[in-house]
């Protein structure tokens, strides 16, 4: 059986949960066994019911200690579920928290970890995955030499499953130990901007130093993102300058994104930035320097001043 850990936030399922289900379906077709999806949290009955529209078997694990995604309680619950259900594969989203606890789960199960994967296949009883390495310059294919295997799935790559099932929800106790709660969460600063989250966005508009200032973001980047219902990204130069929050940084030390369309405004295209966005399906660049490296990875580009081009582009897009 294939165990899926479905992520949710503020009472709704994340898109990654539906991507994990399609990845799990692919694995169960080849490895055999059914798919069981689990939701962990403090108050998850609504999310569990929602999830049951997409898959036949849902397990809801409710415990106050699971309200925040902390690595140790999550490791404990996920490992117990995997053992009790005799999972062949455990699928987790490669979000920040998912990357963090999935490594602990693999260690506790003493099994292979396939991290941040972009495709999955099965040969006999061995799972094969592709993933990026070397700052996303290389695609590597790796094989897990044993089962079970813990797999974290890169967001926004796998297709989502459509609602079809009317599944059952079963409640299970978390059964946590005192040591699972050694790490205490204090204050939280949400990076909520009211916009679509970067790793779920279909379109991302990113501003670089060429946008000029935080006012430049308000004047150029935000309005274009608004008409496209896009997420907003930033380069490190912009974050370092304090124009935008770090949560919007795309690149080696920020987020890795692969949206349908990535629009880079006044971004030079440094390797560390490219590693976070070069897997986007379509890349658009606007830069006044025709030799900027960003044009090498661009599908469409305009050599021009963002102050002239972007307002005109916004108008043209609005009147489509």
Partner 1 sequence: MKIISIIKQVPDAEARIRATASGIDLEGVTFVIDGMDEYGVEQSLRLRETGLDAELISIALGPKRFEEAIRTSLAMGSDRAIHIETDEALDPITQAKVLANIIKEEGAELVFVGGKEADWDSAALGPAVAEALGWPHSDWTTKLVVSGSSLSVTHDSDEGSETLTLPLPAVVTTQQGLNEPRYPTLPNIMKAKRKELKKLALSDVGSPSGKTQLLRQEIQTKSRLNKVLTGDAAEAAKELARLLHEEAKVI
Ligand X SMILES: Nc1ncnc2c1ncn2[C@@H]1O[C@H](COP(=O)(O)O)[C@@H](O)[C@H]1O
Ligand Y SMILES: Cc1cc2nc3c(=O)[nH]c(=O)nc-3n(C[C@H](O)[C@H](O)[C@H](O)COP(=O)(O)OP(=O)(O)OC[C@H]3O[C@@H](n4cnc5c(N)ncnc54)[C@H](O)[C@@H]3O)c2cc1C
Give Cβ neighbours of residue 119 (< 8 Å, ≥ 6 apart).
Answer: 129, 130, 157
Task: Considering only residues 131 through 170, tell me which ones interact with partner 1, judged by CB under 8 A.
Answer: 131-146
Give Cβ neighbours of residue 10 (< 8 Å, ≥ 6 apart).
Answer: none
315 binds, among ligand X, ligand Y, partner 1, none (CB under 5 to 8 A by kind): partner 1
Q: Residue 185 class from Cβ within 10 Å (0-12 exposed, 13-18 middle, 19+ buried)?
A: exposed
Task: Considering only residues 233 through 292, tell me which ones interact with partner 1, judged by CB under 8 A.
Answer: 236, 246-247, 252-254, 260-261, 271-272, 275, 278-279, 282-284, 290
**Three-class SS state of 209:** helix
Measured CA to CA, the distance from residue 134 to residue 99 in angstroms comes to 17
Give Cβ neighbours of residue 68 (< 8 Å, ≥ 6 apart).
Answer: 185
Q: Is 107 among the residues that bind partner 1 (CB under 8 A)?
A: yes
Nearest approach, Cβ of residue 117 and ligand Y (Å) = 21
Q: Is 293 among the residues that bind partner 1 (CB under 8 A)?
A: no
Task: Considering only residues 75 through 104, tell me which ones interact with partner 1, judged by CB under 8 A.
Answer: 75, 95-97, 99-104
Q: Is 299 among the residues that bind partner 1 (CB under 8 A)?
A: yes
Task: Considering only residues 177 through 196, tell me which ones interact with partner 1, judged by CB under 8 A.
Answer: 182-192
Site size for partner 1 (CB under 8 A)? 93
Residue 70: CB atoms within 10 A of its CB come to 19
235 binds, among partner 1, ligand Y, ligand X, none (CB under 5 to 8 A by kind): ligand Y
Residue pair 58/81 in contact by the 8 Å Cβ criterion: no
Nearest approach, Cβ of residue 113 and ligand X (Å) = 5
Residues that bind ligand Y (CB under 6 A): 208-210, 235-238, 249-254, 266-268, 270, 272-273, 276, 287-289, 292, 305-307
């Amino acid at each position: 059986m294939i165990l899926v850990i479905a992520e949710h936030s503020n009472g709704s399922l994340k898109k990654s949960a539906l991507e994990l289900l399609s990845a799990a379906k692919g694995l169960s077709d080849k490895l055999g066994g059914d798919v069981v999806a689990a939701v962990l949290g403090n108050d998850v009955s609504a999310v569990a019911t929602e999830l049951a529209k997409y898959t036949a078997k849902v397990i809801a694990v409710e415990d106050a200690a699971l309200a925040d995604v902390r690595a140790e309680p999550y490791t404990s619950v996920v490992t117990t579920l995997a053992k009790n259900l005799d999972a062949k594969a455990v699928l987790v989203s490669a979000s920040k928290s998912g990357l963090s606890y999935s490594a602990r789960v693999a260690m506790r199960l003493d099994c292979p970890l396939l991290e941040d994967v972009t495709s999955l296949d099965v040969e006999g009883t061995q799972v094969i995955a592709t993933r990026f390495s070397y700052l996303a310059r290389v695609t590597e294919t790796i094989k897990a030499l044993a089962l079970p295997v813990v797999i974290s799935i890169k967001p926004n790559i796998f297709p989502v499953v459509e609602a079809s099932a009317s599944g059952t929800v079963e409640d299970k106790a978390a059964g946590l130990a005192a040591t699972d709660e050694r790490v205490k969460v204090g204050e939280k600063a949400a990076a909520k901007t009211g916009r679509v989250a970067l790793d779920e966005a279909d379109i991302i508009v990113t501003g670089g130093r060429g946008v000029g200032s935080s006012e430049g973001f308000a004047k150029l980047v935000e309005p274009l993102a608004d008409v496209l219902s896009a997420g907003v990204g930033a380069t490190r130069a912009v974050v370092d300058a304090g124009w935008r929050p770090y949560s919007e940084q795309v690149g080696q030390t920020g987020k890795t994104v692969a949206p349908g369309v990535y629009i880079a405004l006044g971004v030079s295209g440094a390797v560390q930035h490219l590693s976070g966005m070069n897997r986007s399906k379509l890349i658009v660049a606007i830069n006044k320097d025709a030799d900027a490296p960003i044009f090498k990875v661009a599908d469409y580009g305009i050599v021009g001043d963002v102050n002239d081009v972007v307002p005109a582009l916004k108008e043209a897009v609005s009147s489509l």
